[in-house]
Amino acid sequence: MPNPEELLKYTIPQLLRWRAQQTGEQVALREKEFGIWRSLTWQQYYDLVRKAALGLKALGVKKGNTVVLITDNIPEMLIIAVGAQSLGAVSAGLYQSSLPHEIADILNYLEARFVFCDDQEQVDKLVEVREKIPLVQKVIFEDPRGMRPYRSDAWFVIIEEIYRLGETALKEEPDLYDQLIAQGRPEDVCHLCLTSGTTGMPKGAMMTHRNYINMGVRITQTDPLQTNDEYVSFLPFAWIGEQMNSFGVALATGIAINFPESVETIMSDLKEIGPHFMFGAPRIYETIRSQIWLKMDEAYWLNRKFYHYFMAIAQQAAGFRMSGRPMPLKLRLLAWLGKTLVFDPLINQIGLRRMRRAYTGGAALGPELFTFYQAIGVNLKQIYGQTEITGIAYMHRDGDVRPDTVGKPLPGTECRISEKGEILSRSASVCAGYFKMPEKTEELLESGWLHSGDAGFLDDQGHLVVIDRLSDVMHSRQGQMFSPMFLENKLKFSPYIKEAVIFGNQQEHVAALVNIDPIVVGKWAEDRRISFTTFMDLSQKPEVAQLVHDEITAINAAAEKAHFKIRRFAILYKLLDVDDGELTKTGKIRREFVMNRYKALYDALYDPAVERKRVQATYQYQDGQTNTVEMEMRFYTVG
């Protein structure tokens, strides 16, 4: 790897050109389409960006314009984004699941002039709100299927036309692209990244070229990657977690980015890719863990015996590895035997056999889940950061993985804790502020430090411990402080619990609204011949309630203090969902929204006399339609 400080002198388009010069024949992007993997080298990637940039210029894209991308993960999303940045324009990503009215609001807020969509589904959303987005001049699309009705409308342009315009411009002025990117500066804003929106409409964080490249450089200083390493791109491009890898890490290291065929084929494509490096939100790792548990539940009794025996050994061994302590010889031999006989074949079936670096962020992950992955041989580590510091600012080091912390600051990152306990950070990865929000920017970057909004502290070893959002930290009626997120993670380590919302602020006891895992609990019910029809029916079965009751009892037994114990719970009749506004696009709970939406359930949780309550269950579908049914919910007291 070259001198990191040298890379920080480049913009993203300039660094792409440098990468093409250094490793031009190596694979940069790989996409599965119609069952076949096709590859682009760094030189081909650069050539397409150059054509796209000049084509966008011919289309009317100018410096300072915003080009928004609403797309699944495909190579073209990077080609268009970097092409726009080459002109001094600013790219931005929107979640593919966004509804038409959400898209209209965000496009107007970002002052979007051009939009790139991958297919008809996203184009149709724009057509629906066309009159509400007057600033949008052109809509570029990649997949022509279903687009015939729009081909005669000048508002729409297929990506091949962009390439054709660019190729013509390149022949006429071969040096034009180099002249354009020479005008860029590392401190220029290149991308508007939407925040998670836990407290309202997302804000556009103004990210610079240096933000992304610095993050890519610093993380790989801590955990080096090789140029022939493979990365799988499946996170939404609108999330900082994907941008930091596809912009920052990939350009800083030269690793290959692999794009699965579709969201539905991610897990099967993962087996073919066999990535060395992976980043995902906690929900991804929770899902994989559930799949592993299901595989073992369906295995022969002897295989299950082997699994449970060696899992106990592997967890002991993981404790030594994570802390960097030398392992006793007998334990080392038994752990090797378990790895060879049980865990290597197991993780090979999932596609994680070659994994050297696995990270999770965006929300806290329970300590038990870390130990589980480390035990089966996946080097999973916690990172901590936020959109406004390019995703990562703190990370575990190999041999110093402490599941109750988020690690130490990356090189070049400073940390301090304010008087009120807020985590403050400072580094070259801190964004330039919020788009069109000077007052919010001033609050965010007060005194030159990034204010995270999270409560935490630094322990004696310099590890950062994150307690919870400052606004989410709760106090019992007696004044004892507790973190709802900590208890939620405890609950979610159960294979039967997919999501949980903890309540208890200024109350006599803690209560929980629980989502069961439909796959795991469904299989559990089938094995016991418990009949059910729908998720709603399954969620209200007395046997399922007893199952959750036992899980909560076990968690309560391990709680050191009484105010950490869950006294009342109910099982929600539906899964918490992004479309219903209960979760952010990155899977975080919008706690206040949930409490207000289910106010009747919240009140019942704090009325010990209530054991049953008739409620109206309302569902909202992706097309915006709703359906309401009446049902009876049960409420349970623990202990």
Instruction: Give the best-scoring range by mean pLDDT among 381-395, 556-570, 615-629.
Output: 381-395
Which pLDDT score is estimated for 564? Answer: 81
Concatenating the DSSP letter of every residue in 448-493 gives GSEEEEEEEEE-TTS-EEEEEETTT-EE-TT--EE-HHHHHHHHHT
CA–CA separation, 148 and 488 (whole Å)? 49
Per-residue b or e along 218-232, where b marks 16 or more CB atoms closer than 10 Å to that residue's CB: bbbebbebeeebbbb
Residue 1 has pLDDT above 60, yes or no: no
Residue 189 has pLDDT above 70, yes or no: yes
Between 100-114, 194-208, 269-283, 492-506, the lowest mean confidence (pLDDT) is in 194-208
The 10s digit of each residue's pLDDT in 91-102 is: 999 999 899 999
- Name the CA radius of gyration of the chain, rounded: 25
Per DSSP bridges, beta strands 510-516 and 497-503 are antiparallel
3-state secondary structure of 132: helix
Concatenating the DSSP letter of every residue in 16-72 gives HHHHHHHHTTSEEEEEEETTEEEEEEHHHHHHHHHHHHHHHHHHT--TT-EEEEE--
CA–CA separation, 462 and 405 (whole Å)? 10
Residue 199 has pLDDT above 60, yes or no: no
- Across residues 23-35, what is the average pLDDT? 94
pLDDT category at 280 given cuts 50, 70, 90 is confident
Burial classification of residue 43, based on how many CB atoms lie within 10 Å of its CB (0-12 exposed, 13-18 middle, 19 or more buried): middle
Distances (CA, A) of 580 to 373, 390, 517, 583, 585: 32, 28, 18, 8, 11
The 10s digit of each residue's pLDDT in 571-598 is: 999 999 887 888 887 778 888 899 999 9
For residue 481, give the nearest of 425, 418, 421, 424 by alpha carbon: 421
Fold matches, 4-279 and 398-471: no
Which pLDDT score is estimated for 623? Answer: 61
> Does CATH number 3.30.300.30 belong to domain 474-637?
yes
Residue with tokens 């990117």: 181
Find how far residue 150's CA is from the centre of its chain.
34
Enclosing H/E stretch for 15: helix 12-23
| Whether 260 contacts 232, CB under 8 Å | yes
Domain locations in the chain as residue ranges: 4-279, 281-384, 398-471, 474-637
Residue 307 has pLDDT above 70, yes or no: yes
Which pLDDT score is estimated for 425? Answer: 97
Between 245-249, 323-327, 469-473, 524-528, the lowest mean confidence (pLDDT) is in 469-473
3-state secondary structure of 617: strand
Residue 46 has pLDDT above 60, yes or no: yes
CA–CA separation, 213 and 216 (whole Å)? 5
Which architecture does CATH list for 398-471? Answer: Roll (2.30)
Which pLDDT score is estimated for 61? Answer: 97
Which architecture does CATH list for 4-279? Answer: 3-Layer(aba) Sandwich (3.40)
- Across residues 364-374, what is the average pLDDT? 81
Between 520-524, 585-589, 619-623, the lowest mean confidence (pLDDT) is in 619-623
Which pLDDT score is estimated for 84? Answer: 98
CA–CA separation, 260 and 263 (whole Å)? 7
Q: Which two tokens stand for residue 521?
A: 């609990």
Concatenating the DSSP letter of every residue in 512-573 gives EEEEE-HHHHHHHHHHTT---SSHHHHHT-HHHHHHHHHHHHHHHHH-SSGGGSEEEEEE-S
- pTM, entire model: 0.83
3-state SS of 133-147 is CCCCCEEEECCCCCC
Between 244-258, 311-325, 569-583, the lowest mean confidence (pLDDT) is in 569-583
